[in-house]
């Protein structure tokens, strides 16, 4: 099992947690923001979550305020925004940094992964997506402009799930 499952992180309520609570599931990890041009992707992410949850899949969101301060809200404000505006039911974790000296350990692991163009490194913007296999290995990296219903993303998810 991958070490990424064992890295401690708080959930949005501030309670200790880890991605280990999703061990055995395919997981789409996304750095999210409430005041971004890509924020409407929440709708598609929620649809993915609902479509594949019964087959062992979940989306998880990590709010991040590093890109033009597009996630300024408190945990309560983030939860309310996501719930009221997009009906988000997938798990949200604490606001973290995904780049720089304060980069969270989960993103230290994730940013080492290359995308379809062979590029690794820093997160480029809000809504960058990482697909984890049920054993916690990174199975794909999708840049922010990749919509949740993108054929390549959906195919990669389906490949990890039982029929």
* 64 in active site: no
| Residue of 4, 12, 36, 106 with catalytic role | 36
β 26-32/57-63 pair status: parallel
d(CA 29, CA 116) in angstroms, rounded, equals 17
d(CA 8, CA 154) in angstroms, rounded, equals 28
Structure tokens at 12: 């949005």
98 CA to centre of own chain = 11
d(CA 40, CA 135) in angstroms, rounded, equals 30
The answer to whether the CB of 92 falls within 8 A of the CB of 78 is yes
Count the helix, strand and coil residues of the chain and give each as a percent rounded to the nearest 5.
Answer: 30, 20, 50
Catalytic residue annotation:
36
């Amino acid at each position: 099992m991958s070490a990424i499952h064992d890295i401690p992180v708080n959930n949005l309520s501030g309670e200790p947690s880890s991605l280990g609570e999703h061990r055995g599931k395919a997981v789409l990890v996304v750095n999210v923001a409430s005041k971004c041009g890509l924020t409407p992707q929440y709708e598609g992410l929620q649809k993915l979550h609902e479509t594949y949850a019964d087959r062992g899949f979940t989306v998880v969101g990590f709010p991040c305020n590093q890109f033009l301060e597009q996630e300024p809200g408190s945990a309560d404000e983030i939860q309310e925004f996501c719930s009221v505006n997009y009906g988000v039911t997938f798990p949200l974790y604490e606001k973290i940094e995904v780049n720089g000296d304060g980069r969270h350990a989960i993103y230290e692991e994730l940013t080492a992964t290359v995308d379809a163009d062979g590029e690794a490194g820093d997160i480029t913007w809000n809504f960058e997506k990482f697909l984890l296999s049920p054993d916690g290995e990174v199975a794909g990296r999708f840049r922010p402009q990749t919509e949740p219903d993108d054929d390549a993303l959906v195919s990669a998810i389906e490949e990890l799930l039982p029929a």
